[in-house]
Homo-oligomer: A and B are copies of this chain.
């Protein structure tokens, strides 16, 4: 293959949030020409993309017209118009991840059924059409009720521990997933290119914010046995291969006390559980995504050192123009790397940035992560 690829292909990204922003940061190294479309003219990519178009990601015409001007089209959010992407694919555009994969992942019901149909280990579940149907399966509780479509960043998920909680269940098509008494929640990011090459990043451990249902801390590597790590990597490879997907896939999994590994859900794009790869691994998840969709050889995924990641969420009780407290103290922490997302407006739990800490001493890593979490505050 002649490698004019990176010089001559125009890449279009649907979505201009922080993931797109970090993709752009990475893309400079390869002279890739990137266009971004996002509905928000103040999106994190708006000031840094060489071409930025305001448009609806769910609108057929907007997506189609945007894609027409590109050679390769990818997403940094799943919630996009896939009909337009299918048409673009028919017209010869490279759309990675493929529209069929995006559609499958857009609907948590179909996603869950896919695991079952393809012998991918996942928690027991029941598909529900409305709240009444959840009520009929009250004996299945404790369970997690997920909205089939449109859930994102903690929205569209409810914990149903007892019958009284069912009033919180969604009154729309959803999936009721048996609550797993897991020991650890992990993520393996895997990439696959059109040549069929597949590479996984080492498993990381996720600690979720109890209220916001967002990743609060991440530790890499995950504290799991080599056997469990191996099992998790094999599952991630199995999922991306069975999806026949090209691109980057984050596979979130539960590790039970018995060492069982169950797929929770996946995201077909760079993911919150891979931010730390920018500093801590040979290749970042962003570069890996670009490599995979541009048809390049995949990069070395090995970690250089252990790392932790803390999401910087908008402080509860504050909404308005963002003010950063504790920046100086946080910047003074050796091995800490601050990433702000260029969002001027904060609101409770909004993802405003993240901090990666690299340190070979695991205790110190935790201490530094705690310090930054307690020091760096985003208020208004």
Contact = CB atoms under 8 A, between A and B. Distances in A.
A342 B50 CA distance: 12
A281 B200 CA distance: 24
A94 interface: no
Interface in A327-351: 327-328, 331-332, 334-342
Interface stretch (A65-73, A215-223, A264-272, A295-303): A295-303
Interface string A14-28: 000000010001001
A299 to B, nearest CB: 7
A322 B4 CA distance: 10
Interface in A253-311: 279, 282-283, 291, 296-297, 299-300, 302, 304-305
A300 B30 contact: no
Contacts of A341: 31
A358 interface: yes
Contacts of A283: 337
Nearest to A6: B327
A28 B358 contact: no
Given A282-B358, A335-B282, A358-B304, A297 B31 contact: no
Nearest to A360: B304
Nearest to A30: B340
Given A50-B48, A297-B328, A331-B296, A30 B282 contact: no
A67 to B, nearest CB: 21
A225 interface: no
A47 interface: yes
How many subunits of this chain does the assembly comprise? Answer: 2
A339 B25 CA distance: 12
A1 interface: yes
A44 to B, nearest CB: 9
A7 interface: yes
A141 to B, nearest CB: 44
A323 interface: yes
A328 B31 contact: no
A300 B302 CA distance: 22
A314 to B, nearest CB: 14
Nearest to A338: B29
B28 A328 contact: no
Contacts of A325: 3
Contacts of A30: 338, 340
B291 A331 contact: yes
18 contacts: A3-B325, A3-B327, A3-B328, A6-B340, A7-B323, A25-B28, A28-B342, A29-B338, A29-B339, A30-B340, A31-B340, A279-B282, A283-B337, A291-B331, A296-B327, A296-B328, A304-B305, A304-B358
Interface of A: 1, 3-7, 21, 25, 28-31, 47-48, 50, 279, 282-283, 291, 296-297, 299-300, 302, 304-305, 322-328, 331-332, 334-342, 358
Question: What are the 6 tightest A-B residue pairs by CB atom distance, in nearest-first order?
Answer: A3-B327, A300-B334, A297-B332, A31-B340, A304-B304, A47-B50
